[in-house]
Structure 1
Amino acid sequence: MIVAVAGGKGGVGTSTTAWNLAFELEAVAVDADLTGADLPLGSGPNLHDVLGGRANPMDAVESVGGVWLLSSGRTLAGARASDLTAFGRVLERIEREYGRVVIDCRAGLARDVGVALRSADLLVLVTTPTKPALIDALRTAELAAELGTPVASAVLNLADGDGQTPLVDRLSRTLGVEVTVVERQSTVADAQAEWMPVHEHTPGAQAVGAYRSLADRLVDSYDRLERG
């Protein structure tokens, strides 16, 4: 199972969602932002090296903070030398070895976002309760539909609890999927700052149950997709 996590707009919590979802799914998190990586830098080869033909994908996956990670490089030269046509094959190789992959997509709708979406089986759409974020999330959903990647679920991030119920209902009807609410809690940011899953940092946080239910829903969606 390969899951893309995208939102269109930066700052909506895509990387936080991907990080915690990878932990809950026991998946490999792949930082697919070749020019502005948000997930931590590993200690060995990275995605730039893999897409540049300088490293084997399996040699670039390592455990960071309890999450399996294929980090991205930090240099413009490395990004320019990366062969995006190899990205799908890299993901398939990791999927064969680890079973599940979560892609942290970059913000915007550039070509590499399309490549990531096309390579995924399912999309998790991330947004916040602001008009610009919602507009960009819907544009991302449209791009995914054009590429044949179904939206399996959506995340309303940085939400204010029950006060978002009308928005959650509208978003769910528009996308035709369930919406997971992740409330605004300092513990989520604190865990991310330490590169720990919220589950490990603060087991009782609301976000833990939200990410767990999202992971279960994705497994169910993938199973239905596989059954045809």
Structure 2
Amino acid sequence: MIVAVTGGKGGVGKSTVSLNLARELDAVVVDADLSTADLPRGHGPDLHDVLAGRATPLEAVDSFGSVRVLPCGRTLAGARAANLSALEDALGRLERSCGRVVVDCPAGLARDVGTQLHSVHAAVLVTTPTESALVDALRTRALARDLETPIAAVVLNRVRKPDDELATRVERRFGAKTTVIEERAAIDEAMSQWRPVRDWNPTCEGTADFESLGRAIERCEKRLSGRVGVL
């Protein structure tokens, strides 16, 4: 299965969710933000090289602790040389070789986000509790619907105080299972070292939140298993 982690607004924690979800699913995480990559740099070819035909997806996969990452380059020249239309094929080849794939999408509703949402089987929407972030995430949901990409789950991220009523309202607003992830120092510390919180601090309660998100994706995978090309 290939799942995109997206949501209209920047700074809501998509890369953090992508890295931790990849850990829970034993998936390869792809940094598909061609111009402002957030996941760690690799030691060899990257997504720019793959999309320019200079490397295969497998050649560009690197390991960072327990997580496999296909990193993205940081140069403007690399982004310009990348052929975005090759992304769907690259993700498909990666899925066939490695199993599950998590795609860390850029912020906004730019053309590359549409390409990515069209290239996956399902999406996870990440938002913070602010109204502006929720509105942007709703716009991304609308784009996903236009592309017939189902929303597997919603992540309400960086919540300072647990609020079951808020989570319920968000779930109703988006029409998808919502996982609440509280703002925790351990999650930020783990991300600063490019490590999933499960590896950095297994006793952190955030570990259970990401595990719950992983189960939601697995349930979605089962629902979609009858579609041609999903499994």
| Structure 1 and Structure 2 fold alike (TM over 0.5) | yes
Counterparts of 1:46-195 in structure 2 under 5 Å?
46-162=46-162, 164-195=163-194
Output the TM-score relative to the length of structure 2.
0.96
By how many angstroms is 1:200 displaced? 0.4
Output the CA distance in 1 between the equivalents of 2:220 and 2:19. Answer: 20
By how many angstroms is 1:65 displaced? 2.6
User: After alignment, is 9-18 or 218-227 more displaced?
Assistant: 218-227
Output the CA distance in 2 between the equivalents of 1:97 and 1:223. Answer: 20
Correspondence for 2:215: 216
Output the TM-score relative to the length of structure 1.
0.98
By how many angstroms is 1:92 displaced? 0.2
Structure 2 residue ranges without an equivalent (≥5):
none
Given that residues 157 and 184 in structure 1 are in contact (C-alpha distance below 8 angstroms), is that contact kept between their aligned partners in structure 2?
A: yes
Q: Secondary structure at the match of 2:3?
A: strand
**Dislocated runs of 4+, deviation >2 Å:** none
Structure 1 residue ranges without an equivalent (≥5):
none
Deviations 1:103-140 (A, max 9, x none): 00000011111111111111100000101111101100
After superposition, the CA RMSD in angstroms is 0.9
Correspondence for 2:29: 29
By how many angstroms is 1:176 displaced? 1.6
Deviations 1:34-66 (A, max 9, x none): 000000000000000000111111100011132
AA aligned to 1:128 is T
- Give the number of the structure whose residues are more often helix, by fraction: 1
Given that residues 12 and 157 in structure 1 are in contact (C-alpha distance below 8 angstroms), is that contact kept between their aligned partners in structure 2?
A: yes
Given that residues 182 and 206 in structure 1 are in contact (C-alpha distance below 8 angstroms), is that contact kept between their aligned partners in structure 2?
A: no
AA aligned to 2:145 is A
AA aligned to 1:16 is T
Output the CA distance in 2 between the equivalents of 1:88 and 1:201. Answer: 32
Deviations 1:154-189 (A, max 9, x none): 001011232x22221111112221110110111100
Output the CA distance in 2 between the equivalents of 1:227 and 1:90. Answer: 23
Q: Secondary structure at the match of 1:133?
A: helix
Given that residues 65 and 197 in structure 1 are in contact (C-alpha distance below 8 angstroms), is that contact kept between their aligned partners in structure 2?
A: no
Output the CA distance in 1 between the equivalents of 2:137 and 2:17. Answer: 14
